[in-house]
Amino acid sequence: MDVLHISGLRAAIEDKEILKGVNLEVKSGEFHAVMGPNGTGKSTLAQVIMGHPKYEVLAGKITMNDEDVLEMEVDERAKAGLFLAMQYPSEIPGVTNSDFLRMAVRTKMQQEDKRLNLGAFMKELKGKIGDLKMQDDMAARYLNEGFSGGEKKRNEILQLLMLKPKIAVLDEVDSGLDVDALKIVGDAVNSMRSDSFGCLIITHYQRILDYITPDFVHVMMDGRIVKSGDVSLMKKVDSEGYDWIKKEKL
Amino acid sequence: MREEIISRDEEMNAVPIDYKYGFTTDHKNLKDTGKGLSEEVIKEISKEKNEPSWMLDIRLNAYRQFIKMPLPGWGPDLTQELDFDSYTYYIKPSDRTASSWDDVPESIKETFEKLGIPEAEAKYLNGVSTQYESEVVYHNNQKELEEAGVIFLDTDSALKQHPDIFREYFGKVVPFADNKFSALNTSVWSGGSFIYVPKGVKLEKPLQSYFRINSESMGQFERTLIIVDEGADVHYIEGCTAPIYTANSLHSAVVEIFVKKGGKCRYTTIQNWSNNILNLVTKRAICDDDAHMEWIDGNIGSKITMKYPACILKGDRSKGTTVSIAFAGKGQTQNAGAKMTHLGKDTSSSIISKSLSRHGGNVTYLGLVEHRENANGAKTNIECDTIILDGISKSDTIPYNVTKNGDITVQHEAKVSKVSEEQLFYLMSRGLSQEQATEMIIMGFIEPFARELPMEYAVELNQLLKLEMEGSIG
């Protein structure tokens, strides 16, 4: 059982406080959704969990299985089992998708004292590219360079499938996807569901949640999680918006 | 002998050195001319080589020109670096050119084995000509080359065996009076490669040669002459590695290439001179109608490099390409670039330059593109990208364009990149360490160069850069 625990988390960018005390716990086997209007700190939460250097943590704790995540370098967080599917993945010119993934998977396997079998790796990569209905040349293209928005998102999910983290944060993987792509991405994430995988889905539109059913739903406003519940909370937000929560809080 | 080499290696290993090929073997030099240069030294070299008198005359004329000429008025300041009296201008490693690998002296073999040459040879090489100090000691042309009429010799042998063709082309695209270093090279040249590819002969596998300086403070002045006849096609690879020395060493080569009508020549170099060597090289090709010259030029080592591979696009529709990388680390100056001279109609040129600097290194792209009066319809595309890896290193891009014709197109794109925080975050979030992530971004940056290399060279370049990059973080 892996546990990502966040308590009293406050974080700022360029002296502007964005997260004002976030409390959240994600365990393996659980799918959580964080919803909320634009500009409430959802993506900041994702970036701070993974350790983006432009954010400053002011207070609070993040632990993974009781280990202090805030003390870890970005790669150490990945090695601890965390993963972030990014909203705006970087382009790395000149590095092929497959070379990058091979390096990442090999590094992970070395940590587990295993050796990468190149044939098995290529077979798995090809299979997952097929599952995600990506173009065949995806492995040979340079990492995210010239990818359409949808291709980038699918490529993030491809990495998720290949790296098999313990807890994944998906930051708006639904934006830029058409209905067909949403279903493919949703199916892929659902295929990860197991007792040893936990997921935190951050979304502005709730479209992705038509395909992935979360066990827990949280609403975030002004840097805090203001309401938590089950799937019925999501349905209420879907039909009524966020205003009722704001009023409730006033 | 073997034990001596091993114990020497242990000695070398005990000293903290950062140069991968920083070993020397104890092969005894049979003959050298001592330090410094004079007409007497030049006569001695020519006599030792048993040359025709016309070559001695050229050498002496070039020497007189060398004395008169000033240092180049551009690029890094060499006045503090050069001491022409301190170099040995000619060293002969053995008294004959060996014809097969078995005949090569054991100590020289050891050196090449460390460089991995036998493996390289095993891999589809047409011919290997390895230069050890000033003369080619091993030369192995395979039968198919001879059958096709291809001449691939060390330059000294070519002068003896093919004096007519030699005299017709020698010094014609790089005249000795071109610059101080072409004058110096012409007066003391020794070794290098000579290639003649007859009409219509297309060589699928590259020809290659390794060069190596192996004596303290000695200059190496190889001279390469390549003639690609009409419709012929050749890829020549020159690789350089050098051991470490305490005193400055001078390397000043001249490469002349003639690409006849419809011919194609690709010349690939990755120089990795140890970082005390001054590398001052003149490389120039002349293209007839529909000919294509490609320079693939990597500069990783040396203390100072000045090198601007040139194409004279004389023939209509001829093409010139330069793809280069330059890497400047601590104490290094890389002043490299390209020169394209458009004389013919509808000629085209393309320059891709990638440069990196770190630890106070200084890298400059210096380029000259000229479109002359008759170059109607000529096109040039220049891309210069640079990455500066820290706050104390330098990079400059200095492109000169000279246009004497209104009917031409020049595109120039220059970019200064850095290894961005976002890219590092992205790669590290997948479990790569900062070193691995940086290395990956750098490898991606030079990929447009690396993909032009044969596989074994791309792998070697990769390893060289990894070595160079080690400890570059933090």
Q: Where in chain A does DSSP place strands (E)?
A: 3-13, 16-27, 31-35, 55-64, 67-68, 82-85, 167-171, 198-202, 216-221, 224-229
Full DSSP string of B386-421: EEE-SSS-EEEEEEEEEE--SS-EEEEEEEEE---H
> pLDDT of B3-54, one tens digit each?
333 333 333 333 333 444 555 555 555 567 888 999 999 999 999 889 999 9
Q: Which of A90, A97, A144 to mutate to test the interface with B (most CBs of B within 10 A)?
A: A90
B453: how many CB neighbours lie within 10 A of its CB?
19
> pLDDT of B190-216, one tens digit each?
888 899 999 999 998 888 775 444 444
- Give the distance from CA B182 to its chain's centroid: 14
Whole-number Å distance between alpha carbons of A137 and A235:
39
Contact flag A107-B444 (C-beta cutoff 8 Å): no
User: Least CB-CB distance to B428: which of A54, A74, A83?
Assistant: A74
Collapsed DSSP state (helix, strand, coil) of residue A210: helix
> pLDDT of A132-142, one tens digit each?
999 989 999 99
Q: What is the mean pLDDT of residues B244-260?
A: 80
The amino acid at B190: S
Whole-number Å distance between alpha carbons of B102 and B99:
8
Contact residues, chain B to chain A, C-beta under 8 Å: 420-434, 436-437, 440-441, 443-448
**Cα dihedral sign, B107-B23-B94-B132:** positive
Q: What pLDDT score was predicted for residue B98?
A: 45
- For residue B439, CA distances in Å to A95, B330, B356, B463, B467 come to 11, 18, 12, 11, 10
A194: how many CB neighbours lie within 10 A of its CB?
10
Higher pLDDT, A224 or B211: A224
Please give the share of chain A, as a percent, with pLDDT higher than 90.
78
Residue bearing tokens 């992705």: A208
Higher pLDDT, B113 or A198: A198
**Can you read off the two tokens belonging to residue B209?**
């040669």
Q: Please, which residues have CB within 8 angstroms of residue B23's CB and are 6 or more apart in sequence?
A: B8, B9, B12, B111, B114, B243
> pLDDT of A101-121, one tens digit each?
999 999 999 988 888 888 999
User: Least CB-CB distance to A92: which of B429, B431, B444?
Assistant: B444
B188: how many CB neighbours lie within 10 A of its CB?
26
Collapsed DSSP state (helix, strand, coil) of residue B352: strand
Chain A: closest CA distance from residue B420 (Å) = 9
- Give the distance from CA B306 to its chain's centroid: 11
User: Least CB-CB distance to A103: which of B426, B434, B436?
Assistant: B436
Helix (H) or strand (E) holding B328: strand B319-328
B385 contacts on A by Cβ (under 8 Å): none
Strand B379-388 to strand A82-85: parallel, antiparallel, or no bridges (unpaired)?
unpaired
Collapsed DSSP state (helix, strand, coil) of residue A181: helix
Burial class (CB in 10 A: 0-12, 13-18, 19+), A81: buried
The length of chain B in residues reads 474
Contact flag A77-B429 (C-beta cutoff 8 Å): yes
B443 contacts on A by Cβ (under 8 Å): 94-95
Q: What pLDDT score was predicted for residue B270?
A: 84
Contact flag B425-A108 (C-beta cutoff 8 Å): no
Strand A198-202 to strand B264-272: parallel, antiparallel, or no bridges (unpaired)?
unpaired
Average pLDDT score, chain B: 82
**Can you read off the two tokens belonging to residue A70?**
């805030």
The amino acid at B74: W
Q: Among candidates B268, B474, B267, B262, which has minimal Cα distance to B358?
A: B474
User: Least CB-CB distance to A75: which of B432, B440, B443?
Assistant: B432
Q: Which of A95, A100, A111 to mutate to test the interface with B (most CBs of B within 10 A)?
A: A95
Full DSSP string of A90-123: PP-TT-BHHHHHHHHHHHHHHHTT----HHHHHH
The amino acid at B375: A
- Predicted TM-score of the model (pTM): 0.82
Q: Please, which residues have CB within 8 angstroms of residue B379's CB and are 6 or more apart in sequence?
A: B347, B348, B349, B408, B409, B410
> pLDDT of B76-133, one tens digit each?
999 888 989 988 888 775 544 444 556 555 655 555 555 555 444 433 232 334 444 4
Whole-number Å distance between alpha carbons of B288 and B258:
8
Contact flag A73-B428 (C-beta cutoff 8 Å): yes
Contact flag B423-A93 (C-beta cutoff 8 Å): no
The phi and psi torsions of B271 (rounded to 5 degrees) equal -95, 135
Count chain A–chain B contacts defined by CB atoms under 8 A: 79
- A216 touches A25 (CB < 8 A): no
Strand partners, B440: none
Whole-number Å distance between alpha carbons of A222 and A203:
15
**Can you read off the two tokens belonging to residue B136?**
């080619």
Q: What is the mean pLDDT of residues A167-178?
A: 91
Whole-number Å distance between alpha carbons of A245 and A242:
5
The amino acid at A230: D
Q: Among candidates A208, A149, A168, A214, which has minimal Cα distance to A184?
A: A208
- B392 touches B362 (CB < 8 A): no
CA angle B212, B213, B217 (to 5 degrees): 175
Q: Please, which residues have CB within 8 angstroms of residue A182's CB and are 6 or more apart in sequence?
A: A174, A207, A208, A210, A211
The amino acid at B453: L
Q: Check CB contact of A54 with chain B, cutoff 8 Å.
A: yes
Chain B: closest CA distance from residue A78 (Å) = 5
The length of chain A in residues reads 250
Q: Check CB contact of A109 with chain B, cutoff 8 Å.
A: no
Q: What is the mean pLDDT of residues A56-67?
A: 97
pLDDT value at B136 more than 80: no
Q: What pLDDT score was predicted for residue A219?
A: 94
User: Least CB-CB distance to A90: which of B426, B436, B445?
Assistant: B426
Q: What pLDDT score was predicted for residue B274?
A: 74
- For residue B212, CA distances in Å to A149, B222, B242 come to 51, 11, 5
> pLDDT of B372-386, one tens digit each?
999 999 999 999 999
Contact flag B428-A75 (C-beta cutoff 8 Å): yes
The phi and psi torsions of B188 (rounded to 5 degrees) equal -125, 15
A143 contacts on B by Cβ (under 8 Å): 444
Whole-number Å distance between alpha carbons of A129 and A124:
9
Whole-number Å distance between alpha carbons of A67 and A5:
10
Q: Check CB contact of A50 with chain B, cutoff 8 Å.
A: yes
Collapsed DSSP state (helix, strand, coil) of residue B268: strand
B447 contacts on A by Cβ (under 8 Å): 93-95
